[in-house]
Chains A and B, each alone.
Chain A
Amino acid sequence: MKKFDLFITGVGGQGNILASDITGEVALSAGYDVKKTDTLGMAQRGGSVISHVRIAERVHSPLIKEGEVDILVGFEKLEAVRWASYLKPGAVAIVNSFAQPPLSVNLGIDRYPADKEVTDILKQRAGRIFLVDGTHRVTELGNSRTLNIFMLGCLSRFLPFKVESWKQSVRAHLPARLHKNNADAFDLGRKEISDGR
């Protein structure tokens, strides 16, 4: 059995935790041992959120060591680069090309990193970087809140789990009226990576 250490990062409210829950369940149903944990600040919304998902034959620590992350899934650019030091040399980084400037940037105290800076930082560790246009794609699809499932579609390209298993877990977490939308978002995410490869 291979091991997969994943980071799913974003801003509170983007649906990180649901995405990492689904990933963990899919891995469990494929017969792996799984641990997942989220580190988040004190409030519900707006702060940095990061989920560690560890998938292997046997997992001990729920937290991934620095330099050990195989795949980074970033829902927001700044939150993706923030954790670059956790990437294993040669890791895969899938980053939603979307900026949500923190308050210090809006107040003119700090500067949001330019796209080149983002990729330059990630390149210091990542072997392959996929900048995907998730926010745009799901907005076109009609539901911007399906971004997390779109990103799972992207991630699914790099994990040995069945597409139907992903979709089943997505359905299990959402009310029926959202099933179609999210299944479409998942497919779009898969397509995004196959097109970009």
Chain B
Amino acid sequence: MKKLLSGNEALALGAYHAGVRVATAYPGTPSTEILEAIAPYEDVYAEWSTNEKVALEVGLGACYTGARTLVCMKAVGLNVAADPFLAAATTGVSGGLVIVSADDPSIHSSQGEQDNRHYAKLAKVPILEPADSQQAYDLMPFAFEISERFDTPVIMRTTTRISHSKSVVNITGDRPAETGKRAFPRNVQKYVMLPVNARLRRPYIEERLVKLAEFAETFPFNKIEPGGNSLGIIASGIGYQYAREVFPEASFLLLGMTYPLPTTLLRRFAGQVKQILVVEELDPFLEDSIKALGIQVTGKEFIPRIGELNADIVEAAGKKMGVLKEKPAPPKIALKNPLPGRPPLLCPGCPHTGMFYVLASLGQRLKLPGAKEKEPKESPLVITGDIGCYTLATYPPLNAMDTTACMGASIGHAIGMEKAGLKSKIVAVIGDSTFLHSGITPLIDAVYNQSKITVVILDNGTTAMTGHQEHPGTGVSVKGEQAGRVVLEDLVRGMGVRDVRVVNSFSIKELRAAVRDSLEKPELSVIISRGACAVRVPRGADTRAIDIESCNQCGICLLIGCPAIQSDGKQPFIDTSMCMGEKCTICQQVCPKQAIMPSSELKAAR
């Protein structure tokens, strides 16, 4: 049967057909859809774990019992999970353990760009790279077999373009009837990594790598595709597809396993062609290793190491290298005026908008349309931020975020600034899912070290940014079933925070009072701002409208950054197709002229 599947869907189906029993993940673009695709299967245990470290630890425990296990995360997720990852490389597995690392070249939706193939080298474990959805599906059973045969975790590395592209998959496998018995025979030397045992495992890791390199020589996904002999391409992942399109005459060596490398196969390929171009996204991971073998290749001299590739870029590289001829391009598009950009925004009715409006106004960051640019000065309020939809509050008109580094960092940043002696008031802003992921330990640090910062937890009851996944605070599992629930205010109080308040995200008055009060208090405060994500709730009745007669066009309603409020340059108006109506009313609350009201009232008044 042929189906159009995304790389992520194909990975999930491949794992299912390979007999996976346990699957864990924390949502993260571009990896999220893998667990979502596998969760509906009744004969797979699937969970959203608290974070990637926990996901991998749960996965490791599961595989120790003999269960084939899949753990999925985005590239930076493996940084969070690096500790259990290195541990897994040392203990090895019992049932197969496959870790999907979905890298994000071009930083479409991450805080940085990193090539996670380096992790394979660091941990001395094998890494597989599918070049399309078919390979994602086909490689999965091999990944589990390699894991079990060589007693090692296996990294399945995708990139955004592999994970999120759909291509045709010929589905040839099926779910095995039997997925093995679970047992855990005690084996202290393998599973208890006391130094004495870890030292015993250490030589095995080196032996394993040698055996894997031998295996790579005949691994069916490392294959030569013969073509002309004037140019040879060595490629992996999506780079292969671009090169295939651009160099139809070349010979190819497609590497489905990019660590450890098949040295004999590489030498054989090198002997068949006059010159070799390595086409890989991000770092010269293959190129450097191949050069170290004494094989002459070129790569990053022509192929950029920053950002994702495409056929245009690979073609330009071919021209620069002199293996492709220049072709006349159609004349460039002439623009009289530059086109306005369209960055993503907080949605109409977003429960974060009110809080950021309050923080921006207390921090004196709001600037009316057409107002003169003020001299940049130190804001009386520093807002350390975190990772989620709310990071978008960094943009004008809210300008309400000053730092964002990695999951959970907002609280540590705030503590550090305070302890370093910064005079401004400091607020750390973090979402509910991010707080549970990695905000708890820094908040304990704040309690322990008597920090006086204010922490705002934006609780919209979902992991919104990645597409509305459940988390421990929602009490619903990835399968949509009732689960245990962690109550944020109980948790925070239990950690020893005395000043804890829960406020309504859609009441400017409550939000302002809570923030003012907390900032004045000479102690650690936590404000939980609670309101459902606008995408998850039905639209409220009675969209808001602007009464043109009482509106004095001051522009304050535009400062909340609601996409439903538009302006022709002077007169703001509300796009009723977008307004969330009585569910939100933030614009109505900030209007100093009471010119914004329910549409029904405005109609009645006329």
| Residue among B166, B342, B567 making CB contact with A36, cutoff 8 Å | B166
Q: Which residue of B lies closest to A144 (CB)?
A: B577
Asked if A61 and B347 sit within 8 Å, CB to CB, the answer is no
Q: Which residue of B lies closest to A81 (CB)?
A: B339
| Residue among B108, B166, B344, B558 making CB contact with A39, cutoff 8 Å | B108
The answer to the question of A142 belonging to the interface, with a C-beta cut-off of 8 Å to chain B, is no
Instruction: For the complex, give the distance between the alpha carbons of A28 and B572 in Å.
Output: 46
Q: A34-B167, A38-B164, A61-B311 are in contact. Are A78 and B340 (CB under 8 A)?
A: yes
Asked if B337 and A117 sit within 8 Å, CB to CB, the answer is yes
Contact with A along B163-185 (1 / 0, CB 8 A): 01111100000000000000000
> Which residues of chain B are within 8 angstroms of A125 by Cβ–Cβ distance?
330, 333
Asked if B311 and A41 sit within 8 Å, CB to CB, the answer is no
Asked if B464 and A41 sit within 8 Å, CB to CB, the answer is no
Asked if B164 and A37 sit within 8 Å, CB to CB, the answer is yes
The answer to the question of A115 belonging to the interface, with a C-beta cut-off of 8 Å to chain B, is no
The answer to the question of B332 belonging to the interface, with a C-beta cut-off of 8 Å to chain A, is yes
The answer to the question of B144 belonging to the interface, with a C-beta cut-off of 8 Å to chain A, is no
Q: Number of contacting residues on B, CB 8 A?
A: 60
Instruction: For the complex, give the distance between the alpha carbons of A121 and B333 in Å.
Output: 7
Contact with A along B102-117 (1 / 0, CB 8 A): 0000001100000000
The answer to the question of A35 belonging to the interface, with a C-beta cut-off of 8 Å to chain B, is yes
Instruction: For the complex, give the distance between the alpha carbons of A63 and B244 in Å.
Output: 13
Asked if A108 and B244 sit within 8 Å, CB to CB, the answer is no
Asked if A24 and B397 sit within 8 Å, CB to CB, the answer is no
The answer to the question of B421 belonging to the interface, with a C-beta cut-off of 8 Å to chain A, is no
Q: A28-B4, A35-B165, A62-B165 are in contact. Are A124 and B343 (CB under 8 A)?
A: no
Q: A37-B165, A62-B165, A108-B369 are in contact. Are A43 and B344 (CB under 8 A)?
A: yes
Taking CB atoms and an 8 Å cut-off, the chain A residues in 27-56 that contact chain B are 28, 33-48
> Which residues of chain B are within 8 angstroms of A128 by Cβ–Cβ distance?
none
> Which residues of chain B are within 8 angstroms of A85 by Cβ–Cβ distance?
332-333
Instruction: For the complex, give the distance between the alpha carbons of A44 and B536 in Å.
Output: 12
Asked if A62 and B167 sit within 8 Å, CB to CB, the answer is yes
Q: Which residue of B lies closest to A82 (CB)?
A: B339
> Which residues of chain B are within 8 angstroms of A34 by Cβ–Cβ distance?
4, 166-168
Q: Which residue of A lies closest to B109 (CB)?
A: A42
| Residue among B312, B336, B342, B345 making CB contact with A66, cutoff 8 Å | B312
Interface on chain B toward A: helix, strand, loop, or mixed SS?
Answer: loop
| Residue among B109, B311, B561 making CB contact with A63, cutoff 8 Å | B311
Contact with A along B320-353 (1 / 0, CB 8 A): 0000000001111111110111111111000000
Within the complex, the shortest CB–CB distance from B244 to chain A, in Å, comes to: 4
Asked if B345 and A47 sit within 8 Å, CB to CB, the answer is yes
Q: Which residue of B lies closest to A45 (CB)?
A: B347
Contact with A along B566-591 (1 / 0, CB 8 A): 11010010000100000000000000
Asked if B245 and A60 sit within 8 Å, CB to CB, the answer is yes
> Which residues of chain B are within 8 angstroms of A43 by Cβ–Cβ distance?
344-347, 389, 392, 465
The answer to the question of B275 belonging to the interface, with a C-beta cut-off of 8 Å to chain A, is no
Taking CB atoms and an 8 Å cut-off, the chain A residues in 70-107 that contact chain B are 78-79, 81-82, 84-85, 88-89, 101-107
Asked if A103 and B563 sit within 8 Å, CB to CB, the answer is yes
> Which residues of chain B are within 8 angstroms of A81 by Cβ–Cβ distance?
339
Contact with A along B1-34 (1 / 0, CB 8 A): 0111000000000000000000000000100000
A-B contact pairs, 18 of them (CB 8 A): A28-B168, A42-B465, A43-B346, A43-B465, A61-B241, A62-B167, A65-B310, A81-B339, A101-B340, A102-B342, A106-B566, A107-B397, A107-B558, A108-B567, A109-B369, A112-B340, A117-B337, A124-B331
**A residues with CB within 8 A of B:** 11-12, 21, 24-25, 28, 33-48, 59-63, 65-67, 78-79, 81-82, 84-85, 88-89, 101-113, 117, 121, 124-125, 144
**B residues with CB within 8 A of A:** 2-4, 29, 108-109, 132, 161, 164-168, 238, 241-242, 244-245, 310-312, 315, 329-337, 339-347, 369-370, 389, 391-392, 396-397, 464-465, 467, 535, 558, 561, 563, 565-567, 569, 572, 577
